[in-house]
Amino acid sequence: MFCPECKSLMISSGGQLKCRKCGYIRKITDDDQLQIKRKRSEKEIVIVEDEETVRTLPTIAVKCPKCEHNLAFWWLRQLRSADESEVRFFRCCECGHTWREYD
| Catalytic positions, written as ranges | 83-84
Give CA–CA dist 96/63, Å, rounded.
13
Give Dmax (Cα) for the chain: 69
Instruction: Calculate the alpha carbon distances from 17 to 6, 30, 34 in Å.
Output: 14, 13, 14
Cβ 43 vs Cβ 57: under 8 Å? no
Cβ 83 vs Cβ 103: under 8 Å? no
